Amino acid sequence: MTIRFLLVGLLLLPLFGKGQVPALIPAPETLEMGSGTLKFSPQTRFYSSSPEIRAMVQDQLPFLKPASSASGATVFFELNPKLSLNNEGYDLRISPKNLSLKATQMAGIFYGLQTLRQLLPVSFSASSYAVPALHIQDQPRFGWRGLMLDVSRHFFDKAFVKKYIDQMARYKFNVFHWHLTDDQGWRIEIKSLPKLTEVGAWRVPRTGRWWDIANPEPGETPSYGGFYTQEDIKEIVAYARERHITVVPEIDMPGHIMSAIAAYPHLTCEPAPSEVPPNGKFYKVKDNTLNPCNESTYTFIDQVFTEVAQLFPGPYIHVGGDEAYRGFWEKCESCRQTMQTHQLKNVEELQSYFIKRVEKIVQSKGKKLIGWDEILEGGLAPDATVMSWHGLRGGIEAAKQNHPVIMTPFQFCYLDLYQGDPSAEPASYGNAKLSTTYTLEPVPDSVDAKLVLGGQGNLWTENVPHARHVEYMTWPRAFAIAEVVWSPKKKRDFPEFLTRVESHFKRLDQQEVNYARSIYNPFVSVRKHPSGSLEIVLEHEMPGTQLYYTVDNTIPDSYAPVYTQPFLLPKGTDRVKVLAYRNGKPLGRLIEVPLTDLEKRAK
């Protein structure tokens, strides 16, 4: 007995002696807790011999003041090219006496500072705060850690884009993929083609679910939209750069480009007056694809990319290539001739011919081409990088052909999908719960890991009408993406991650960033039982919850039946209601699914 107590005591000693492991997202590569804390006061000073680092520290930790010499400081920042860390890694040591942050390059200092911010209390007064003693050595698993924002379906202004970039930087993302053009709006000023924004940036205003949105009325004014001037773009690119984020512009073609066609109708096979559509109802009905067989199309693309290349210093231009409807090409006389001249067997090869010509234009501006995985169809352009969204398969195929890939499989990475039970979420489709997103593995077994640049989350905004909802759809799933692309694979532990997510909700509250609380809600799925009845499966993403449900239209509490296993829906039931409890208290929302929806879910 005594010996057992002693043993337990010895085991607990390190826990009491060392601090509690801090909630860092993404989890660092290695973290070793020390004993005690380093206390800060208004007199605490930092020192760095580098003016660049001093400026970065004052920007990122404005409450920390510089010392004029090392002897007056307790906090030290320095570049050290000899550290055995990659070019974004950092080494952070904190003892009760001092703190040192070292990195091989400025990016590593930046990421170390983000970690330091997460070590600080959520709210603290500049006069007194403390950080735990520890040693972190950290570096990212992937060099491409992205989020994509669609600003075409709805326009989000410059101030919001900066806030989004700020938030990305806090979680060590380094690529902002800016989906600047699509059918429903052209958002980048091109000075040599002014109608792109005079006409292409504006559509008729509509509210409601995407698939219900009505076409424009005759004579209706296209008053809804907006665009970024070239000055706005330069400002955002510089803002992102200061946060070690590269902006990748996407100009989607040959499909998803009705906004440009409305401005310049000669770009299609069947030129006809059109307007910027508020919906997707034109698809296959009205020619909505660039004509790949008319030289003026390539003149247009050259004009656009000349200006795009000057605005974005990063190495890539994303040219889309997804979901182009090629039916009008089949009926087009100039396309028939082009296909004959170049011995193209089908319209897939014609799209490949188009993308290869576009790649030459992109390269003539000193840039590299990225496209969605449809650019594989009909043959890849010689130096293309592929962004895989139809699951991982496009990426696997491109890597087989020795092309670099970025993994964004929709099942895990599409931030526009439902993240909780659809009955309690704004309109969407499919689903990608936080627990699903967290299990993404960007490197399939069959693929050479060197060809996988990384991964990203994509937010399409057909059903995202305003900035608060952009945030709701992004967080917390972007936490999961951040960890997938930064942290070592072996560190992934969903229940443990959730405790960190909950702690970061407090940070988001403090930063006035919206986020989804969907992980607190139960999730109802339905199967068809061989007996013909519906079989109900109740789930919850949080560990340690109990689910109480009713099938008699009463409101469940902790005296209702507790869910232990799938059950058959009794005859006559017209809805299932479920409420989760944690530690004896209701958690999240009451989920209520009527019979009509249960039947749909069973299909």
CB of 602 to ligand ACM, least distance (A): 27
Query: Does the active-site annotation cover 179?
Result: no
Query: Does the active-site annotation cover 323?
Result: yes
Between strands 65-66 and 202-203, the pairing is unpaired
Nearest to 519 by CA among 438, 598, 457: 438
Return the exposure string of 339-368: e unless at least 16 CB atoms fall within 10 Å of the residue's CB, then b.
beeeebeebebbbbbbbbebbebbeeeebb
Q: Which residue, 157 or 323, has its beta carbon nearer to ligand ACM?
A: 323
The residue annotated as part of the active site, out of 256, 318, 504, 540, is 256
Q: Which residue, 91 or 322, has its beta carbon nearer to ligand ACM?
A: 322
- Spatial distance between the Cα atoms of 181 and 94, rounded to a whole number of angstroms: 46
537 strand-pairing partners: 525
CB of 313 to ligand ACM, least distance (A): 25
- For 356, the token pair is 């290869």
CB of 322 to ligand ACM, least distance (A): 4
Q: Which positions from 357 through 386 interact with ligand ACM, judged by CB under 6 A?
A: 372
- Spatial distance between the Cα atoms of 317 and 369, rounded to a whole number of angstroms: 5
Residue 81 burial (CB count, 10 A):
8
CB of 417 to ligand ACM, least distance (A): 11
Q: Which residue type does 29 have?
A: E
Q: Which residue, 163 or 403, has its beta carbon nearer to ligand ACM?
A: 403
The residue annotated as part of the active site, out of 88, 150, 182, 397, is 182
CB of 323 to ligand ACM, least distance (A): 5
- Spatial distance between the Cα atoms of 161 and 169, rounded to a whole number of angstroms: 12
Q: Which residue, 322 or 471, has its beta carbon nearer to ligand ACM?
A: 322
Q: Which residue, 108 or 254, has its beta carbon nearer to ligand ACM?
A: 254
- Residue 395: burial class (beta carbons within 10 Å; 0-12, 13-18, 19+): buried
Name, in order, each residue with C-beta under 8 angstroms of 288's C-beta and a sequence gap of 6 or more.
183, 255, 257, 258, 261, 268, 282, 325
Nearest to 545 by CA among 579, 574, 592, 500: 579
Secondary structure (3-state) at 162: helix
Q: Which positions from 330 through 349 interact with ligand ACM, judged by CB under 6 A?
A: none
Question: Count residues contacting ligand ACM (CB under 6 A)?
Answer: 4
- For 538, the token pair is 């109740």
Q: Maximum distance among all alpha carbons in the chain?
A: 93
Q: Does 322 bind ligand ACM (CB under 6 A)?
A: yes
CB of 410 to ligand ACM, least distance (A): 7
CB of 372 to ligand ACM, least distance (A): 4
Q: Which residue, 140 or 280, has its beta carbon nearer to ligand ACM?
A: 280
Using CB under 6 A, pick the residue from 171, 353, 389, 497 that binds ligand ACM: 389
Query: What are the backbone angles phi and psi of residue 143, rounded to the nearest 5°?
Result: -85, -10
The residue annotated as part of the active site, out of 52, 59, 323, 448, is 323
Q: Which positions from 545 through 584 interact with ligand ACM, judged by CB under 6 A?
A: none
CB of 374 to ligand ACM, least distance (A): 8
Nearest to 369 by CA among 345, 398, 349: 398
Q: Which residue, 189 or 416, has its beta carbon nearer to ligand ACM?
A: 416
Q: Which residue is nearest to ligand ACM (CB)?
A: 322
- Spatial distance between the Cα atoms of 231 and 480, rounded to a whole number of angstroms: 33
Structural contact between residues 382 and 359, judged by C-beta atoms closer than 8 angstroms: yes
Structural contact between residues 519 and 434, judged by C-beta atoms closer than 8 angstroms: yes
What is the spatial order of strands in the sheet that 523-528 belongs to? 523-528, 534-539, 567-568
Q: Which residue, 269 or 417, has its beta carbon nearer to ligand ACM?
A: 417
Q: Which residue, 362 or 386, has its beta carbon nearer to ligand ACM?
A: 386
CB of 432 to ligand ACM, least distance (A): 13
Q: What radius of gyration, in Å, describes the C-alpha atoms of the chain?
A: 27
Query: Does the active-site annotation cover 502?
Result: no
The angle subtended at Cα 81 by Cα 79 and Cα 85, nearest 5°, is 100
Catalytic site residues? 182, 256, 323
Binding site for ligand ACM (CB under 6 A): 322-323, 372, 389
